């Protein structure tokens, strides 16, 4: 079986737009700023991890942005760093679908497509929904704490970091230690 690092998009791969302490997905090209740390993901790719973005994009269902806009952003991401997959849920909470985080449907889809051992994989996210989806799928969860001021259910990530680079370094270190034993 294969191993993967699942990554949320907004707040991990690209910066969020923060208004009144709450994070929002970019709604214009001007707001879309990639996290320079994504180039560090090469280190995990070299260790054999599949790198898969799993992202909720409810602004499509809510009529705020188009699906074509979101897909254009994903094409821009893949020009900078070629991910193995970008799996997107375009639903809103009211749709009650199985793919929208905190449900683990997108991770299960990737598992089935790429023959992934979820217990040997990681989920990196900056919101409680990401952590719960990863935990529900059986992944080790890494929370990027950006200090958002949002109410959230109680969640307990396995580890908390302040940056994507720090999370990548920890996974790399852990993977190298496992391979030398």
Among this protein's residues, is 126 annotated catalytic? no
Q: What is the crossing angle of helices 128-137 and 105-114, to 10°? A: 50
pLDDT at residue 152 in the model: 61
Annotated catalytic residue, options 8, 59, 126, 130: 8
pLDDT tens profile 103-159: 999 999 999 999 999 999 999 999 999 999 999 999 999 999 998 987 666 778 999
Confidence (pTM): 0.95
Among this protein's residues, is 10 annotated catalytic? yes
Q: Please identify which residue in the block is written with the tokens 């307990």.
A: 156
pLDDT at residue 33 in the model: 97
State the average pLDDT over residues 20-24: 93
Annotated catalytic residue, options 10, 59, 126, 130: 10
Q: For 140, what's the count of Cα atoms within 13 Å in the CB-facing half-sphere?
A: 14
CA dihedral 146, 149, 155, 157 (to 10 degrees): 10
pLDDT tens profile 40-72: 999 999 999 999 999 999 999 999 999 999 999
Q: DSSP characters for 103-145? A: S-HHHHHHHHHHTB-GGG-EEEESSHHHHHHHHHHT-EEEEE-
CATH architecture of residue range(s) 3-164: 3-Layer(aba) Sandwich (3.40)
């Amino acid at each position: 079986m294969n191993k993967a690092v699942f990554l949320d998009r907004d707040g991990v791969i690209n910066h969020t737009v923060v208004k009144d302490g709450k994070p929002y997905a970019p709604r214009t090209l001007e707001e879309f700023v990639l996290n320079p740390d994504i180039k560090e993901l090469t280190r995990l790719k070299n260790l054999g991890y599949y790198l898969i973005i799993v992202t909720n994009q409810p602004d499509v269902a809510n009529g705020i942005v188009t699906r074509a806009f979101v897909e254009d952003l994903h094409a821009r991401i893949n020009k900078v760093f070629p991910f193995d997959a970008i799996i997107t849920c375009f639903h809103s909470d009211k749709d009650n679908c199985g793919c929208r985080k905190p449900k683990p449907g997108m991770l299960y889809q990737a598992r089935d497509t790429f023959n992934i051992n979820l217990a040997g994989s990681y989920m990196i996210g900056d919101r409680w929904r990401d952590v719960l989806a990863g935990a529900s799928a059986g992944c080790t969860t890494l929370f990027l704490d950006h200090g958002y001021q949002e109410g959230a259910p109680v969640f307990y990530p396995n580890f908390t970091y302040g940056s994507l680079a720090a999370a990548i370094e920890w996974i790399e270190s852990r993977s190298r230690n496992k391979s030398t034993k």
